[in-house]
Chains A and B, each alone.
Chain A
Amino acid sequence: TQLLEQSPQFLSIQEGENLTVYCNSSSVFSSLQWYRQEPGEGPVLLVTVVTGGEVKKLKRLTFQFGDARKDSSLHITAAQTGDTGLYLCAGAQGTYKYIFGTGTRLKVLA
């Protein structure tokens, strides 16, 4: 059973456009992370959000954790070709389990 659903599954946009990726669950997580994965490599951490309602910004990327700590979103402003990759959310369950989302594959076209 997949506890974290991401949408959309695939996204192809032009450079300069904005986009939002969603990560939803019926479970509560103590924290939520977003990772980006390039082909042939392992995922790399972008951000960790811990508090319900928390918003974090990393340059053109804005991450939000839902008030109830069950969902999160990633918003990219003015996408660049370098943003292309697989975006994964991951929720921490209990002390030691990380549950990953289904993934959103983003392609940014020049």
Chain B
Amino acid sequence: NAGVTQTPKFQVLKTGQSMTLQCAQDMNHEYMSWYRQDPGMGLRLIHYSVGAGITDQGEVPNGYNVSRSTTEDFPLRLLSAAPSQTSVYFCASSRQGGGGELFFGEGSRLTVL
């Protein structure tokens, strides 16, 4: 009963490095999304996807890239890491968007030095 799986759980990067946060779900959900969580700011939407081949920007998309080649996977790419991207990242999926229950992964804690 995996649900939403995120890897890695922890990562330390140097400024300018690139990396990919992986997200996979086994519930056949069409909707997937990435959030970042910072103290006092709740969760902010980075990018989302409503199905394979379809992605769109959220509130804070700059510095991040996504693609959705399969229903199961929705990786988040940091192109050139900056200290401002130090955060906890959550991937979430839903059977439907707009009001459907979001199922979250356990999070990936990223530190950029």
Contacts and interface: CB of A to CB of B under 8 A. Distances in A.
Interface of A: 2, 4, 6, 9, 30-31, 33, 35, 40-45, 48, 50, 88, 90, 92-103
A100 B99 contact: no
B50 A2 contact: no
B98 interface: yes
Contacts of A97: 45, 48, 58, 97-98
Contacts of B105: 42
Interface of B: 4, 31, 33, 35, 40-45, 48, 50, 56, 58-59, 90, 92, 97-99, 101-102, 104-107
A31 B98 contact: yes
Nearest to B91: A42
